[in-house]
A and B are shown apart, each in its own frame.
Chain A
Amino acid sequence: MLLITCPFCGARNETEFVYGGPVGRDRPDAAKVSDDEWLDYLLIVPNPIGPVHERWWHARGCGDWFTIWRNTITHDIVDGPDNE
């Protein structure tokens, strides 16, 4: 079970949260990028054994959406480039 820190409520039990999917890249301008780049944006999600960037929703709490970096093998919530 994870202890997730909501930016508003602080550290809470994982069961209060809903996983919101991986954080992908910023949406490129579809008119400007090539088909391959667009498909890459649509389809490819980083799948490392290590930290991933993901969204969580404090659904059974304050309702806030936020992102965390979590290690896929240890489940540790770690500092990512955005969390500094």
Chain B
Amino acid sequence: MTSLESSKPRWTRLGHTFLDRAALMLKNITVMQKYTVFSLLRNGLSGHQNWSPAWRSPPLRDKYDVIIIGAGGHGLATAYYLAKEHKITNVAVLERGWLGGGNVARNTVTIRSNYLRDQSIPFYVKSVELYEGLTKELNFNMMHSKRTMIDVVHNYPKMRELRRRQLTMDIYGSTYEQIFTEEVRRRIPALTGGGPGSRLPVIGGMVHTDAGVNRHDAVAWGYARAADAHGVEMHQQTPVKSLIRGTDGRIEGVETVRGTVRAKKVVVAVSGHTTTLTETVGLKLPLRTMNLTAFVSEPVKPLVDVVVNCPDLGFYFSQSDKGEMVIGGAPDSGQSFRRDIKQHVFEDTVGAMLELFPSFKKLKLMRQWGGHLDITHDASPIMDETDVGGLFVTAGWWGGYKAIPAGGLTMAHHVATGHPHPLMKDFTVNRFKNLEFIMETGTTTAR
């Protein structure tokens, strides 16, 4: 029996090999197949059999200019902006599992910029802005759905803290506005709990109109496809075992299960396992890995058109386009490298939610997932070149999904120019040594 591959005419196979070689040699002129209504129509006529793959699977070489470990949101965005903004295309993105299968697929896709600190807000404002233009920029439908986020507040200290955030956010062009309880209930009709007689009555809300949700797979795939078109290589199923340090103390490359790959610059973008990797070159970082959970209900008709966040009770949710409630809660206590969720963490979140949304009691839950993230002492990220020259780290992301575009943009700037981008210059490793903490209360939604 002949396989499909060998039944093709010989010239086709030769042609493919030649094209692959040409693409490899002239990487900068790789042409990305553009997605338009016409290409959809054309491919529809041929039964969608002739779409070209969104990215290549080239052989792994032993040397690159830059290695990025982790084909997640931050890794792929960094690769894309390195190629696009800085014309550095001799880049390999190494991924342990499959592309976009880590934390970029294990979050609640909430995009927002309601942070507290002067260092954080402009960074997230930039990220929200980039997200809003991402569908056009990458020619990939992000299914971006801009929608308001409403913080439902139960106590006055929290309200004061959010109003303080509002004053700082005003400076940087982010939006926050206080509303009364009646207005909260008008905008979220499903919010029927939390009345005057309840244990925790609602006292008001804060409205953040810059928020939104989009499709996480599209973010990973869109960045991967666009980076590939610039010549960046993605290598899946390529776990990095350790980092390699040269005799001069600088980074020299990485040891993978597929052999040694060398590069003068290595970016670690592996949320959760950052210390696992950096410890292989004796670098200690102030990070602890924790498990954060989320789960999804069965789809129901449109019910809530905002992102609801409840910092005092510790849960948040939004309704996806499919109608599912995408619900997130507080992290599991203690360090954890697990990706499942504990029953009582889940029950705590659901219990808190039912206090405000009693009608959700009838919803069945369909899926649950956890992601592991490494957090710092001040709950702000680390984006910096480390004490090991040429080794860059983007870590400490707690809710790093919303930071993907700005994180990639600024990290690429640092890798390419050797100087930190103005938007990320404060998120250094050494801020801990100088005890200049960026204590951030806006990091998690439920906080």
Residues of A within 8 A of B288 (CB): 22, 45, 47
| A44 and B336 contact, Cβ closer than 8 Å, known pairs A1-B342, A1-B343, A1-B344 | no
Residues of B within 8 A of A49 (CB): 276, 337
Question: What count of chain B residues pass the 8 Å CB interface test?
Answer: 21
Residues of A within 8 A of B377 (CB): 43
Residues of B participating in the A interface, judged by any CB pair closer than 8 Å:
275-276, 284-289, 333-338, 342-344, 374, 377, 432-433
B338 lies within 8 A of A52 (CB): no
Contact with A54, one of B284, B335, B337, B344 (Cβ below 8 angstroms): B335
Q: Separation in Å of the A4 CB from the closest CB of chain B?
A: 11
B287 lies within 8 A of A14 (CB): no
Residues of A within 8 A of B333 (CB): 18-19
Report how far A3 CA is from B169 CA in the complex, Å: 44
Residues of A participating in the B interface, judged by any CB pair closer than 8 Å:
1, 14-15, 18-19, 22, 39-40, 43-45, 47, 49, 52, 54, 70, 72-73, 75
A15 lies within 8 A of B344 (CB): yes
Report how far A79 CA is from B336 CA in the complex, Å: 18
Report how far A43 CA is from B334 CA in the complex, Å: 16
Chain A residue with the shortest CB-CB distance to B284:
A44
**Majority-rule SS of B interface residues:** loop
| A43 and B342 contact, Cβ closer than 8 Å, known pairs A49-B337, A73-B337 | no
**Residue from A1, A19, A47, A75 having most chain B Cβ neighbours under 10 A:** A47
Contact with A47, one of B343, B374, B432, B433 (Cβ below 8 angstroms): B374
Chain A residue with the shortest CB-CB distance to B347:
A15
A selection of 7 A-B contacts at a CB cut-off of 8 Å is A14-B342, A19-B334, A43-B432, A45-B286, A54-B335, A72-B336, A75-B338
Report how far A52 CA is from B288 CA in the complex, Å: 11
Q: Separation in Å of the A73 CB from the closest CB of chain B?
A: 5
Q: Separation in Å of the A67 CB from the closest CB of chain B?
A: 12
A39 lies within 8 A of B343 (CB): no
Q: Separation in Å of the A34 CB from the closest CB of chain B?
A: 12
| A47 and B344 contact, Cβ closer than 8 Å, known pairs A72-B289, A73-B338 | no
Residues of A within 8 A of B343 (CB): 1
B432 lies within 8 A of A54 (CB): no
**Residue from B287, B336, B338, B374 having most chain A Cβ neighbours under 10 A:** B336
Report how far A62 CA is from B333 CA in the complex, Å: 20
A40 lies within 8 A of B344 (CB): no
Residues of B within 8 A of A43 (CB): 286, 377, 432-433
A39 lies within 8 A of B433 (CB): yes
Which 5 A-B residue pairings sit nearest by Cβ, starting from the closest? A19-B333, A43-B286, A47-B275, A73-B337, A72-B335
A70 lies within 8 A of B334 (CB): yes
Report how far A73 CA is from B344 CA in the complex, Å: 18
